[in-house]
Chain A
Amino acid sequence: MNKVLIVEDEQHLADGLRFNLEAEGYHVDVADSGESAQELLKKSLPDIVVLDVMLPGKDGFSVMSEMRTAGQFVPTLMLTARGRPDDVLKGFAAGADDYLTKPFELSILLARIRGLLRRREWLRSSPPAPADHDRFVFGDKSVEFEIPRLRVGDQVFPLTLMEANVLRYLIRHEGKAVSRKKMLEEVWNLHEDTDTRAIDNFIVRLRRYIEDDPARPRHLVTVRGVGYRFIAHPA
């Protein structure tokens, strides 16, 4: 059974949506604020999120972009009373997969939810690309992007998809300083003023695997005022 998370603070709307989605056979959770949505996202791992924009506390746009920067790629449909082109674009820039303005037609909302879930199924069932050829070796270390994992000597560290993508991007620009903003745009596809510090967490984690001494990095070097630089063979 597919799980839907509804983030909507208007009780009446949330109840109406819940009734309909349950009638369609989905399992439904409802969050009434941005903060509780983030909690439920981690706890109940929904298959699809229906996200309102005007929420008490954190608004839908920031919930959206924080989800994406944290590596949560669950299909998300934004649902909001704001229908101006600016708002729609802002929603997509934050990482929404679909956008519907209120008032909406129930049948269309349900069809779009089905569409997003179908796409997700296709992506899941497509066969994994052959491993092996996509690897990068430096020193006694090697990254296997397709698995993805990292070998250091005879140790093996599994990587998350996002960690692998960050590493791939840095390796591709080996020796050059890469800004945090650029990484957000290229790796996360976010073209918004999101908090770029989220990247630092990824770097800290990667350093723990790659560096002999994470406090004194030699491969993943901080470039002050810019971002990071990857050095394959430090002097």
Chain B
Amino acid sequence: MIVAGRRKSIAFFIALGAGLILVTLLLYIGWVLLNWKNGILIFFSVLLVMLIISGVVLNTIFLVREIRRNAQHDAFINAVTHELKTPVTSIRLYLETLQTRAVDDEKRRDFYRIMLADSDRLLSTIEQVLRTGRVGHSARVLNRSAIDLDQLIETCLDRVRKVHHVDPDSIEFKPGPPATVFGDPDEVSAAVSNLVDNAVKYSGERVHVRVETENLEGKFACVRVIDHGPGVPKPELKRIFKRFYRVPGPQSTRVKGTGLGLYIVRSVAKRHGGRAWAESEGPGQGSTFVLQLPLAKTNGTERQS
């Protein structure tokens, strides 16, 4: 219902804009027909009408964009509410259960494990939201140091395997030539973790993820995360990196998320002078996410930024 209402208001503003332009043009044509003899007047009037029309067009564009942004913001609030409240609800439920009922030892251990998993989930959502605030400020100084990329990726993979309880073989790592990146280890590992985390989350039941590194002409290190999940439709490949954006459809309700992960990846890449993008042959074909970061100068005398 809300979506339909929003589409209606977008359509309304576009129609309003088009209507205003039409009325302006008609009035202007009438005016020209009346004053066609005066050359200079006609010239200035053309300029004026152009200005008015471009004003209307710009205004319509901004209105539509604002409506879209509001929609995404609402979706984000909903997603974060869900992601924050669900683990708290679960932890609370188990604590109350332990408090009020006789629970045998085995179940009790089970409950502790579940509560720990939920508190991890809660923490990762909180970190994601806080990190979004941090990476949004490009002025913030990075805490740079030399990072061994392979080692960092291994650590990230271990964590993802543990969090998602997946078979260690379902995430494979094929390191390229050793690479050292000069950057903020915390941010780079957040970016890599987000990519691998997404790949596992969207794969569904059968997880098969490959992570590769590559050296691009001695200037850049590339981290490729390849999954065999649902893939990404072509028109969405760029948009998914926007803040709060999630591809609409059944996938985004099946897989929970805040719409922040890829935004963080892109922001981290930009802050480090690299970039991030996605490749996919389309729905059902799997997808590849690439994080490209500049390599550290080998002599170690990297300038501070």
Contacts and interface: CB of A to CB of B under 8 A. Distances in A.
Interface stretch (A52-60, A140-148, A165-173, A208-216): A52-60
Contacts of A106: 92-93, 96-97, 100
A107 B78 CA distance: 26
Nearest to A19: B97
A193 B253 CA distance: 22
Nearest to B254: A56
Nearest to A109: B93
A104 B253 contact: no
Contact of A81 (B81, B92, B254): B81
Given A12-B117, A54-B82, A193-B1, A103 B89 contact: yes
Interface in B60-104: 78, 81-82, 85-86, 88-90, 92-94, 96-97, 100-101
A11 to B, nearest CB: 9
A213 B114 CA distance: 62
Nearest to A54: B82
Contact of A59 (B85, B101, B253): B253
A11 B172 CA distance: 27
Contact of A10 (B81, B90, B97): B90
Secondary structure of the A contact surface, majority rule: loop
Contacts of A81: 81-82, 85-86, 89
Interface string A46-81: 000000001111010000000000000000000001
Interface residues of A, number: 23
A13 B250 contact: no
B96 A13 contact: no
B257 to A, nearest CB: 12
B184 interface: no
Contacts of B212: none
B10 to A, nearest CB: 19
Interface string A17-55: 101100100000000000000000000000000000011
A59 B3 CA distance: 14
Nearest to B81: A81
A55 B97 CA distance: 25
A103 B85 contact: yes
B82 A16 contact: no
A166 B82 CA distance: 39
A195 B85 CA distance: 32
Among A12, A56, A81, A104: residue with most chain B CB under 10 A: A12
B175 to A, nearest CB: 34
A60 B48 CA distance: 54
Contacts of B78: 82
A230 to B, nearest CB: 31
A105 interface: yes
Given A103-B85, A103-B88, A106-B100, A16 B93 contact: yes
B118 A12 contact: yes
B89 A105 contact: no
Given A54-B253, A57-B250, A82-B81, A16 B90 contact: yes
Among A16, A20, A55, A193: residue with most chain B CB under 10 A: A16
Given A55-B253, A56-B254, A81-B82, 17 more contacts: A12-B117, A12-B118, A13-B86, A13-B93, A16-B94, A16-B97, A20-B97, A57-B254, A81-B81, A81-B85, A81-B89, A82-B81, A102-B86, A102-B88, A105-B92, A105-B96, A106-B96
Interface of B: 1, 78, 81-82, 85-86, 88-90, 92-94, 96-97, 100-101, 107, 114, 117-118, 250, 253-254
Q: Across the A-B interface, give the 5 residue pairs with the lowest CB-CB distance, nearest first.
A: A56-B254, A103-B89, A81-B85, A102-B89, A106-B96
21 contacts: A10-B90, A12-B114, A13-B86, A16-B97, A17-B93, A19-B97, A19-B107, A56-B250, A81-B85, A81-B86, A81-B89, A82-B81, A102-B85, A102-B86, A103-B88, A103-B92, A103-B93, A104-B89, A105-B92, A106-B97, A193-B1
